[in-house]
Structure 1
Amino acid sequence: MEITKITVQKKRKDRFNIFVDGAYAFPVSEAVLIKLGLNKGMQLTPERMEEIESENSAYLAYTTAVDYLSYGLRSEKEVRTKLREQEIPEAYIEPALQRLRDQKYIDDLIYGESYTRTMMTINRKGPRVIAQELKQKGLDEPTIMTALDQYPENVQLENALALAEKTLRKQSRVSSREGGQKTRLYLQQKGFDKEIIQQVFEEVETEKSTEDELDALRVQGDKAWIRYARKAEGRALIQKVRASLYQKGFANELINTYIEEKELNDE
């Protein structure tokens, strides 16, 4: 077999097309072309072809990973997944990853610390959620625990407080108790521990004024009244509405006030 022509690819000037015995055979990178001294007229033995394929695959694995990393930090698992998606042979993935480790292009601890700082600053996620996400990205438990050191307790409390206050402001149409429950559940879903959540509720004001609580009750009461009035009336209707409002966390005294208002308006 003889290399009869070498041409530069139109879209990538760093890659070349190799023609053997007058027909297109395979592409190679410029680095491989130079390293192996490929040139027109060279005779290719099966062993030489195998060497070219090996060098080309190794180079492709490495450059594909570097290109992927150029867009931002990645975990080792993410890089490995990317190479597999690009159908890089498994035999060339681990050597490429080791080279990247040696060059500090991939480092799961550095990645985990950066990810933790980003999530706590931009998204205000709690540590449990961040830990779950880092685990999904392939980080082991010791690395995750070390990375979470970037998230001190005072910052956790600050973030949780900000989220709680924002959530409570959106609860104007529900009872104080329900608003507090929804806020607590939201903080749990964001990944904050019970101890932080407890500190938050010791600092935030969850109780509405009587006037605001009654306004919220009227909103929920009117909804329940319309819903139950389709199937009940009189005392049965009142009992259903009363039970619904009680389940939503409103006090009996305010429920009685609302019922009295409705009865007066209906007269």
Structure 2
Amino acid sequence: MKISKISTQKKNKQRYNVFVDYNGREEFAFGVHEDLLIRFNLRKGLELTDKQVREIKQQDAIYQYYTLSINYLSYRMRAKSEIAEYLKGKEATPEAIETVIHKLEEEKLVDDLQFSKAYVRTKMNTSTKGPNKIKQELILKKIPEAYVEEAMSEYSSEIEVEKVIKMLKKKFASSSRKKSFQQQLMQAKQSLIQKGFTQGAIEIASQEVDLSPDEDDEMDAVRYQGEKIWTKHARKHEGFQLKQKVMASLYQKGFKVDLINQYLDEKEED
């Protein structure tokens, strides 16, 4: 087939429409970027084989996927797996994805190790996530294990303990006075574990923070919880059995026996 005309596309002046003479009729053959127009020396009157056309189309698709990837990277660093998923969503073939990523790596635009280190630093400084959570996120992004381990060194144990201390202080400064101190502490530790902090860091931080219950607050909490439990069990029990039910429930909620007895004594007086 012979190129009969090359025209600039209206919406993108860097792309061209290539027309060929097909059985005496001029037909659109393909679109191409100007870089490929120059590389393949495309011009009016040039004879093209079907194989050459397939090659040009393939290279143009890769070029477009590469351009999309550059734009995708302009917002923030990306892992290779993120680029691959993005291009897959654009219907790129596995071969095209591999070619584009290889080119991006050669140009130092994609680097899973540097991405991982930056990711750890960002999450460490801007979120309440612990190292275990961040590590899991890197694994889900298909970062090689060696890179994950090296990147996680950015999140030192000292930094982790410091973050846990701040979070514990904040938690107990605004904590509810309707639960026992022990229950609040247990829930705080469980929350920290769910956020990805290590058990060791939590224990060290717990020892460094002055976490001691206020007796008046504890007594108020006993009364609050006790009334709810008393009302619940009073429908079925009374006397000694009722007191035993209330005592057992309050003990399970983390209250000390002497405070529970004080509350029960108050109830008897009432």
The SS at the match of 1:150 is coil
CA, structure 1 residues 212+16, in 2 after alignment: closer, same or farther (shift >3 Å)?
A: same
User: 1:135 touches 1:144 (CA, 8 Å); kept in 2?
Assistant: yes
Post-superposition shift, 1:111? 0.5
- Aligned partners of 2:154, 2:71: CA distance in 1, in Å? 28
1:67-121 CA distances to partner (integer Å, 9 max, x unpaired)? 2111100111111121112111222222221221111111111101101111111
1:47-66 CA distances to partner (integer Å, 9 max, x unpaired)? 22122112212212322221
Post-superposition shift, 1:42? 3.8
1:141 corresponds in structure 2 to: 145
- Aligned partners of 2:46, 2:259: CA distance in 1, in Å? 94
CA, structure 1 residues 259+4, in 2 after alignment: closer, same or farther (shift >3 Å)?
A: farther
1:252 corresponds in structure 2 to: 257
Post-superposition shift, 1:257? 2.0
2:13 corresponds in structure 1 to: 13
The SS at the match of 2:117 is helix
CA, structure 1 residues 210+62, in 2 after alignment: closer, same or farther (shift >3 Å)?
A: same
- Aligned partners of 1:233, 1:104: CA distance in 2, in Å? 74
Post-superposition shift, 1:25? 3.5
Q: Select the residue among 221, 225, 239 that pairs with 2:226.
A: 221
Using the size of structure 1 for normalisation, the TM-score is: 0.89
2:70 corresponds in structure 1 to: 66
1:159-203 CA distances to partner (integer Å, 9 max, x unpaired)? 111112222332432111111111111221122222211111111
Using the size of structure 2 for normalisation, the TM-score is: 0.88
1:146-161 alignment runs, 5 A limit: 146-161=150-165
Q: Aligned-pair RMSD on alpha carbons?
A: 2.1
- Aligned partners of 2:49, 2:251: CA distance in 1, in Å? 86
> Would you say 1:83 and 2:87 are equivalent positions?
yes
Look up the equivalent residue of 1:167 and give its one-letter code. K
Q: Which runs of 5+ in 1 are unaligned?
A: none
Post-superposition shift, 1:7? 4.1
CA, structure 1 residues 225+87, in 2 after alignment: closer, same or farther (shift >3 Å)?
A: same
> Would you say 1:212 and 2:217 are equivalent positions?
yes
User: 1:57 touches 1:89 (CA, 8 Å); kept in 2?
Assistant: no
2:187 corresponds in structure 1 to: 182
Residues 21-30 or 199-208, more deviating: 21-30
- Aligned partners of 1:199, 1:101: CA distance in 2, in Å? 42
1:198-237 CA distances to partner (integer Å, 9 max, x unpaired)? 11111123321110111122222233234334x4242344
